[in-house]
Each structure stands twice: as structure tokens, then as C-alpha cells.
Amino acid sequence: MKNLTFLSTLLLFLLIALPVHLHAQTQDTTSQAELEPTRFGVGFQSTWPAWGLSGMMDINETITAQAILGFFGNFTTVSGRGLYHFRQEEFWDMYGYGMLGLWRYNTRFITAESSLGIGAGAGIQYDWRALDPNLPPIYWNIELGISFFNFEHYNFNFISFGTGVHYRF
């Protein structure tokens, strides 16, 4: 529990401090060359307690579709998310997301169960090319959300912490 409190405090700090830092940095980078826009992305996404492979596709300038195959850990998921980018800058953006997925858990003491779940949250996505325009289009995100599941033996509602790294093309 102590580690969870530390992690939630750290995540809250990052969600507040990172936009302020990024906004200040955006003001200083206006002279950099125009970067090629991306439409698709592949990488890893974690929405605690499951994580795995992720694919993204920009539907338009403000909406992105994402599929996650989270097969690492005791919890696994196959989920889809819709991201709405409500603040976009040159090297970062803030977004809200809605999620729908099938979650499954398996432990040594409880029989494996599956449940349909929903979730929502907000996050920040950062383009590493802000550090150097010659870097590949790699994006890192951090997010905080809430998820609801109804397993037969256990109601599993939780605050979710997420992070991901995607190569965009």
C-alpha cells in the first residue's frame, strides 16, 4: 500500500508538472524545422495491472483509435480505446480516453475469470523529437484513469495508472 501511495503521488505530480514544463519548452522550440506528421503507431501500453502490445491510428486531428493486447501479468486484456486530444502543441498533447475491453485474471488460488470492463481517464503524450529533431518519431505517454469490472468472485474497480511508448509512422 505504501508503494501504491508513492506511485499515485508521483503520477499526480507528473500530470501537473509535465504540462507546465512542456508549455514552457514549446515556447522555445518554435524555430525548429517542421516535422513530418504521423498517422499510425505501434508499441507497448500499460494500464495497470495489465500491459502489452498496442496499435494506434489517428482517425482525424483530434481522435485516435487504440487497440491493446495486454497479455503480461496475472491480468490480461483485449481492449479498445478512443482518445480525444483536447490540447495539442508541437511536441506534446493532452487527451482524454474511453476504454472498453475484455479482462481476465488467473491466480493460483482463484479460478480464472473473464469480465467485460469499461474505463475512462486522461493523459499526456510527449514527442521525443522535442529533445532532438533527428530522433525517430517515438512518443511516450503517461495517464491516470478509473476502470470498472464485475468478476463473479470479485468486483474490481480501481484507479489505473498507465504509461506507454509508441513508434509513430
pLDDT tens digit sequence for 125-141: 999 999 999 999 999 99
Q: Of 143 and 15, which is predicted with more confidence?
A: 143
Is the residue at 143 inside a domain? yes
- CATH classification at residue 6: 2.40.160.20
Is the residue at 129 inside a domain? yes
Sign of the Cα pseudo-torsion (13, 16, 20, 26, in order): positive
User: What does the pLDDT average to over 6-11?
Assistant: 51
Query: Of the given ranges (77-91, 111-125, 144-158), which has the lowest mean pLDDT?
Result: 144-158
Strand partners, 141: 125, 164
Predicted TM-score of the model (pTM): 0.76
Show the domain range for 18: 2-27+38-168
In sequence order, which residues have a C-beta less than 8 Å from that of residue 94 and are 6 or more positions away? 19, 85, 86, 87, 122, 123, 124, 125
Q: What is the pLDDT of residue 110?
A: 66
Is the residue at 74 inside a domain? yes
SS3 61: coil
Is the residue at 32 inside a domain? no
Number of separate domains in the chain: 1
Q: What is the pLDDT of residue 78?
A: 94
Q: Of 168 and 3, which is predicted with more confidence?
A: 168
Is the residue at 33 inside a domain? no
- pLDDT class for 14, splitting at 50, 70, 90? low
Q: Of 150 and 81, which is predicted with more confidence?
A: 81
- pLDDT class for 72, splitting at 50, 70, 90? confident
Half-sphere exposure of 84 (CA within 13 A, CB side): 7
Q: What is the pLDDT of residue 34?
A: 63
Residue 2 phi, psi (nearest 5): -65, -40
The model's pLDDT over 18-55, given as tens digits with 9 standing for 90+, comes to 544 544 555 444 444 466 677 999 999 998 778 899 99
